[in-house]
Structure 1
Amino acid sequence: MKYIKLLFLAVLFSACKGGQKTASMQTEGDTVAFKYATQISVVKYDGYTVATLKNPWKEGMTLHRYVLIPADQAIPNHIPNGTIIRTPLKQAVMFTTVHCAMLMEFDKQDCISGVADLKYIKIPWIQEQVAKGRITDVGDGMSPVIEKIIDERPDALFLSPFENSGGYGKLEDINIPIVECADYMESSPLARAEWLRFYGMLFGCEQQADSLFQAVDKHYHQLKQLASKAKTQPSVLMDKVTGSVWYVPGGKSTIGQMIKDANGRYPWADDEHSGSISLPFETVLERAGETDVWLFRYSSDHDITYDELLGEHHGYNQFSAFKHQTAYGCDVERSPFYEESPFHPERLLNDFIRIFHPEIEGLAPLRYYVKVSR
């Protein structure tokens, strides 16, 4: 009997170990390989997908974890902690114009049931649908009308997180998943564009999103290779005074990276910021007064002139690009800059290369920037 008991215990122990091994194998998933994006990771399991967003302001911390579960399947018994999202999303309230444009490119515009900050959404179709009552204007993005959002019964809310925002107030209390669109915190243009793949998973068009990103990636590198052959490398100044300060893109920002990829020299290329840097006018003049090209964004119903620029700030005429009339303006009111460039950096790169290296042939016409006239 003693030997029988020992044999029984050995078999039982072996069976228990085997059960643990099986359970361990069941918890293993397939990691989705991202080529450039560093702020997001995705692992696919049997019956669900886990997407984890890094906190871009606190290293080693998680901003949000999502558990994507097909809407036609039951919720598995054992899933990790996180916000459950039933996919594909059918209705969503969008707080940003760029993600509205993205859904239209996915041919998922009918999924937009509501928008915030309508005045900043320059997409004619969205404006028309709101006017017809087919899309609900939920008000200001910082203080939306909660009742309107609840009435829409969306599957998710899409908004951009900010450092030290203090949360999302009442939006967190209405039991609607909040998708934090932290794509803008990526440090390279292609890394941000690659978030298309994550958004495609949410709306049931993953293959389409993957194909779109592959096309963007390929075209971007073709343009970069073309620019690398240019014999000149002009220095570039970005944007202009806002209020009492001048916000210039940091050296690790997507714009800073694109200037480099377009074979241009950026005065703040060695800076470590991935966002904008606020500087006094005098500092910008001292460091970038002799730059060859000046690119800036503005908002108007007409093309800006040098006289208007001088009317905004009398010091602009001290810059070499002003004196030699090599300034280019991007009117964000009349061009799709904010709608397109985040997920189509190749289009903006084309503009940069065409401006920096006019001798290069085969480029598309300028899409966002226009040369400033007198």
Structure 2
Amino acid sequence: MPAVKGGASGTAIPLRHARYLKLERYDGYTVARLRAPVADQSGGQAQEQEAVLVLAPRAGPEPSLPAALRHATLIRTPVMRIAANASSDEAFLGQLGVNDRLVAVGGRVSFDDDVRRGVIEGRIGQIGYNWHAPPNLDVLLAARPDVFLMRLSDLAHTPVLDRARRLGLIVAPTFAEDEPTYLGRAEWVRLHGLLTGREAEADRLFDQIETRAQVLKAAATVRPPVPTLWAYPAGGDRWVATVRGAEQAYLADAGGRNLLVRPEDPRKWSSETLATEQILPVADQAQVWIVGDLHAAPPRSTLVEGVSPAFRAGRLFANTGRSNLSANAYDWYQTAFVRPDWVLADFVKALHPDLVSEPFRFLKPIARGAYR
């Protein structure tokens, strides 16, 4: 089949929130430029990682690329066999209705029943989750994916990415979870749409997500902010508190005033571990408290519970509403990245109950003394 020659310059596909993704449409193909800081999990300095993907229709001729794209990764679309080592990429595909194309995933704890069943029955390979270990290349090679969506969550995994490419695997690093805003994360669905031939569906979905989030934020903005804490006990006298980042933005946009808010810093996590003594000075102001989490452990002291109006009024919540305990599967680490409109609706409902009539999804009310 003769090659199709691309134009000298592409036309940008406008993205409204994503910082680490750029899309350009050329004659006969689309270019995706991915670039994000990736941290060394041992505490070292973050380093920029980048990739350039050329997405060309499978049914058409192979594009003749300009010199500037000579080293780009060519992906023929739509991809029909997909591997992913992050639950968030599973969720993007699930929202587009193409999770049946998964041939390898991180492991057995997907919140999606069909995917989890496929892994247990051996129809879908297990390559290891991004937060646990580098991907198992033997399983990947056996799965023969058209593309491997690799969440690069640790610089130490970079050599494995390079080796996978040398072995002939087509690898697309994904940085959706690194985006500093919740809508920036969700906008990566547009890349998944381009890869899978669901571009129109992805665009419609993101427009729906963005519109709903804007409506919720506008409704909450006119209400007096509710003093709130998002901190769960981590055993002993330690608490893990949300203080910045996309998670803190949920509180702010839902009409809350985070009593432990810290200045934004892209080099730092959205949460910090604090001692009970650091929580106590503001605990007596918290009218709402997100105190439950998958990783929570009962505190040594219940002193904060005695002074907090949130505990006295029973306005306590956990982010474990969408959980399958028997499968050890938690959708907070999966669909929440893709559907921030659902997450924001939960926070608005927790802070201003009369503004949202739909039931909770990710958040759930919990009793005093419960932490999950």
TM-score range (shorter-chain normalised) is 0.7 to 0.9
Residue 63 (structure 2) aligned to one of 70, 75, 88: 75
Question: Are positions 1:365 and 2:353 aligned together?
Answer: no
Q: 1:260 to 1:196 in 2, by over 3 A?
A: same
The answer for the alignment partner of 1:351 in structure 2 is 346
Can you give the 5+ residue segments of structure 2 that lack an aligned partner in the other structure?
Answer: 39-44, 325-329
Q: 1:139 to 1:62 in 2, by over 3 A?
A: closer
Question: Are positions 1:272 and 2:264 aligned together?
Answer: yes
Which aligned runs of 4 or more in structure 1 are off by greater than 6 angstroms?
none
Name the structure where strand makes up a greater proportion of residues: 2
Letter in 2 for 1:224: K
Q: In terms of mean alpha carbon deviation, does 140-149 or 189-198 score higher? A: 140-149
CA contact (8 A) 1:54 1:60 kept: no
Q: 1:362 to 1:373 in 2, by over 3 A?
A: closer
Question: Are positions 1:237 and 2:232 aligned together?
Answer: no
CA contact (8 A) 2:243 2:272 kept: no
CA contact (8 A) 1:250 1:273 kept: no
The answer for the alignment partner of 1:179 in structure 2 is 172
The answer for the alignment partner of 1:152 in structure 2 is 143
CA contact (8 A) 1:236 1:294 kept: yes
- Is the partner of 2:256 in helix, strand or coil? coil
Q: Which has the higher contact order (CA 8 A, sep 6+)?
A: 2
| Residue deviations 1:125-162 (CA, integer Å, cap 9, x gap) | 11222233322223454144322211111111123223
Question: Are positions 1:114 and 2:104 aligned together?
Answer: yes
Residue 132 (structure 1) aligned to one of 121, 124, 130: 121
Question: Are positions 1:328 and 2:321 aligned together?
Answer: no
Structure 1 residue 248: Cα displacement: 2.8
Q: 1:166 to 1:362 in 2, by over 3 A?
A: closer
Alignment of 1:1-374 (within 5 A): 26-56=7-37, 63-72=50-59, 73-78=61-66, 80=69, 81-119=71-109, 121-139=110-128, 141=130, 142-162=133-153, 164-169=155-160, 170-230=163-223, 232-242=224-234, 245-251=238-244, 253-274=245-266, 275-282=269-276, 284-286=278-280, 288-290=282-284, 291-299=286-294, 309-310=298-299, 314=302, 316-317=304-305, 320=308, 321-331=310-320, 333-334=323-324, 336-358=331-353, 360-374=354-368
CA-based RMSD: 2.8
Can you give the 5+ residue segments of structure 1 that lack an aligned partner in the other structure?
Answer: 1-22
- Is the partner of 2:203 in helix, strand or coil? helix
- Is the partner of 2:338 in helix, strand or coil? coil
Residues in 2 aligned to 1:238 and 1:327: alpha-carbon distance in whole angstroms: 10
Residues in 2 aligned to 1:272 and 1:87: alpha-carbon distance in whole angstroms: 38
Structure 1 residue 173: Cα displacement: 3.6
Identity of aligned residues (%): 22
CA contact (8 A) 2:247 2:270 kept: no
Q: 1:60 to 1:370 in 2, by over 3 A?
A: closer
Q: In terms of mean alpha carbon deviation, does 253-262 or 317-326 score higher? A: 317-326
CA contact (8 A) 2:22 2:32 kept: yes
Q: In terms of mean alpha carbon deviation, does 219-228 or 232-241 score higher? A: 232-241
Residues in 2 aligned to 1:184 and 1:319: alpha-carbon distance in whole angstroms: 36
Letter in 2 for 1:153: R
Residues in 2 aligned to 1:76 and 1:227: alpha-carbon distance in whole angstroms: 51
CA contact (8 A) 1:184 1:192 kept: yes
Q: In terms of mean alpha carbon deviation, does 281-290 or 92-101 score higher? A: 281-290
- Is the partner of 1:237 in helix, strand or coil? strand
Residues in 2 aligned to 1:104 and 1:214: alpha-carbon distance in whole angstroms: 17
